[in-house]
Structure 1
C-alpha cells in the first residue's frame, strides 16, 4: 500500500449503447467500432439477436460470433475469450440484455428464499461484467430499454406513471462503464454517463465513425502498461532483475524482445568490466593495452 501521484494511463473503452428496438444500437455500435480501430477485420460482434448483425455487412468485412439460447453468463464469457484469442481490437456484445433476462427467469423459477437465491445469481452476473471490464480490447455493450413506471397516489388511488426508459440489465450496471450513450427513436444519441467528457452536456447527435475516433484519441492519451515495462527494463540494475521483469510480463516478451536483449548485453558488459577491474586491483588479471 502506497500513496502515489495520479497518472493518466492509456485505456480500452468499456462503453454501453442503449435504446429501444429499432433505434439503431447495432448500426451505431459498428460505426463507433470502426472509428476506434479503423479496421473492419479487427471487429467482432457477439450476436444474440438472431443474426441481426449480418444486416449491416455492407459497411465492411467485420466478424460475427453467433450465440444461441440459453444466454448464460458463462456462455458470454466464453464468447469474449474466443474474441480475445482471435485478437479482436473491438468487441461488440449485441446484446447483454438477454443475459439479464436469463438470470431473472432463472431466479423466478428457483425454489426457496428469494433473497438467498440472489446470492447464487449475483456472482454469475458479476463474473460476466468483470470479464468485460478486464478484456484487453475495446468493448461496446448494447442494451435494450423499456419504459419504466412508478406508482403515484392520486385521489386515493395508485396510478402508474411513466418516468423514462430503463435498461434491461441489472440496476446500476451503467456505473461499470466509462461511457453510456442513449439512442432515441429518431436515431439521435445523448450521453447519460460520460467520464471522457467528450459528449456530456452536448445536444442530441447522430453517431458516426468520427465519434469512435474521438473516443480512440481519448483512450490513447497518457502512458500505457507497455511504457511502464519499458521503463522497468531501462532502470533494471542486474540480469536477475531483468529476468524477473521478463517473467512478470509474458504478454510483452515478443514485443519487447530487442529491448530485453539490448539491456541484457549492456548489463553483461558492465558486469564483465567490473570483474576485470577487480582482477586488476588484485593484481591477478592484466588487460592487454
Structure 2
C-alpha cells in the first residue's frame, strides 16, 4: 500500500443521462465515453441493445440479466474495476430501482415474507442495500456514465372551473434525489435528441443552449476534470457562500442537506458541517434589544 498526494486531476466523471425511451441515451453515452477515451466497459440491462452500437465506439459489454438487485450491479461494477477499465457505462440504473428483482420489487417481497406486508419495515432493510449501490458508483476509480429512463409527470389541475391534466415535466425512474449523486445530469429530448442540463457542477452546460451530445462533449468534460478544478472543493465553496447569505434555518438546512450528500465520503463533508454549525449558531442567537 502506498499513499499518494491527492491531486485534483484524479477527479472522475459522474454523468447521468436521462430521457424517455428512444431519446438516444445509449448512443449519446457511447459518444461521450469515446471522447473521454480509455478502455471502456458497458453494463447492458437493455437486452443486448449496446451491441447495436458496436460501430460507434470500441467497448466490451456485460449483458446483465434479472434479477436487477443492487448487489448484482455492485458485482458488475467491481468486475469492471478489477479488469482495469477506465470508463464504464451503466445502461440503465432504472432497472436497479424499478426492474425485475430491483429495489421496489424486493421491498414488496420482503414486506410480504418477513413483515406481514409492512413495507415501511422492509425499506429499513432495502435502504442500506440501495445506498451501497450508489456508493459503488461514487467511489469507483472509473469515469461512470449512467442512463436513466424518464417519464412525463402529470397532475390534475383546475382551470377556469374545469379539470384537466397538466404536464409537470420529466421525472427520472429512479429514487427521488438520485441526481444529487452525479456531477452533471443531462436530460435528452425525445424528438430532437438535444440535451439540456438539469444539474451541472462543471458549468459547461448550465448557461448554454441545448446541444447534441458528441465526442467533443466527452473531450470538454475530460478537460474540465483534468483542469485542476476539484468538484468537491467547488461544492464546499458554493455552500459556504450560500450559507453566509441564508436568512434563516428554513433556507440553511436544505442547503446543508444537499452539501452533505454531495460531499459524502470526502474530507470536505466535515468542513461543511463546521460551516453549518457556525451559521446555525449565528442565526439562532437572540436579537439584541435595540
TM-score by length of 2: 0.70
Q: Which residue of 1 aligns with 2:226?
A: 220
Q: Which residue of 1 aligns with 2:215?
A: 209
Secondary structure in 1 matching 2:171: strand
Secondary structure in 2 matching 1:206: coil
In structure 2, the gaps of 5 or more residues are: 1-6, 231-290
The structural deviation recorded for 1:212 is: 0.3
CA distance in 1 between counterparts of 2:19 and 2:105 reads 22
CA distance in 2 between counterparts of 1:177 and 1:60 reads 23
Whose Rg is larger? 1
Query: Is 1:129 matched with 2:110?
Result: no
Query: Is 1:99 matched with 2:105?
Result: no
Q: Which residue of 1 aligns with 2:284?
A: none
* Number of residue pairs aligned between Structure 1 and Structure 2: 215
CA distance in 1 between counterparts of 2:107 and 2:135 reads 21
Q: Is the 8 A contact 2:34 2:57 kept in 1?
A: no
Q: Which residue of 2 aligns with 1:176?
A: 181
Q: Is the 8 A contact 1:97 1:169 kept in 2?
A: yes
Secondary structure in 2 matching 1:121: helix
CA distance in 2 between counterparts of 1:9 and 1:88 reads 18
Q: Which residue of 1 aligns with 2:16?
A: 16
Closer/same/farther in 2, CA of residues 153 and 122 from structure 1, 3 Å limit: farther
**More divergent stretch after superposition (58-67 vs 158-167):** 158-167
CA distance in 2 between counterparts of 1:46 and 1:172 reads 23
1:135-164 deviation line (CA, Å, top 9, x unaligned): 001000000001112243568886542201
Secondary structure in 1 matching 2:10: coil
Query: Is 1:190 matched with 2:187?
Result: no
CA distance in 2 between counterparts of 1:131 and 1:10 reads 17
CA distance in 1 between counterparts of 2:160 and 2:121 reads 38
Give the 5 Å matches for 1:1-289.
8=8, 10-37=10-37, 39=38, 42-101=39-98, 102-109=102-109, 110-111=111-112, 112-153=117-158, 159-185=164-190, 186-222=192-228
Secondary structure in 1 matching 2:128: helix
Secondary structure in 2 matching 1:205: coil
CA distance in 1 between counterparts of 2:198 and 2:148 reads 13
CA distance in 2 between counterparts of 1:189 and 1:159 reads 29
In structure 1, the gaps of 5 or more residues are: 1-6, 225-289
The structural deviation recorded for 1:215 is: 0.5
The structural deviation recorded for 1:106 is: 2.2
CA distance in 2 between counterparts of 1:212 and 1:160 reads 38
CA distance in 1 between counterparts of 2:43 and 2:71 reads 14
Closer/same/farther in 2, CA of residues 223 and 60 from structure 1, 3 Å limit: closer
Q: Which residue of 2 aligns with 1:235?
A: none
Q: Is the 8 A contact 2:71 2:129 kept in 1?
A: yes
TM-score by length of 1: 0.70
The structural deviation recorded for 1:105 is: 1.9
Closer/same/farther in 2, CA of residues 223 and 201 from structure 1, 3 Å limit: closer
